[in-house]
Amino acid sequence: MSLSPEPDEAELQQRLEQLIGEQGDQPPLAPRRSARGIRKSANPIGMGLAVGLALIVGLQLGALPWRFRREIWQVQGALLGLAVGVVIGRFSVRKPD
């Protein structure tokens, strides 16, 4: 069993210069993620469970007496604020140059 000979320093330098010449001085671009990849990864069973859970929670909250409505509205406002913050954060993130 013989090992292939290691390239000498001149070969390595030549290959490095060739790679730099092909790419220029710019670093390689990062791959862009699209929203389609996120939609494709959504599991139909998971989505069904999420909708079912939301319906059950909604029915349970609807059965609460009127004295707890203010607290429910506060929780809804907090969740809406969280959702808006996440969306704004996703769209305002700085993209690498």
> Which one is predicted more confidently, 78 or 42?
78
Per-residue pLDDT tens over the stretch 55-72: 888 888 778 777 777 887
Query: Residue 30 — pLDDT band, cuts 50, 70, 90?
Result: low
CA dist., res. 75 & res. 58, Å (int): 13
Per-residue pLDDT tens over the stretch 10-23: 888 888 888 777 76
pLDDT of residue 23: 63
Query: Residue 7 — pLDDT band, cuts 50, 70, 90?
Result: low
pLDDT of residue 39: 52
Classify residue 93 as left (phi > 0), alpha (psi -120 to 50) or beta. beta
Task: Report the candidate in 78, 38, 76, 35 with the shortest Cα–Cα distance to residue 54.
Answer: 76
pLDDT of residue 31: 64
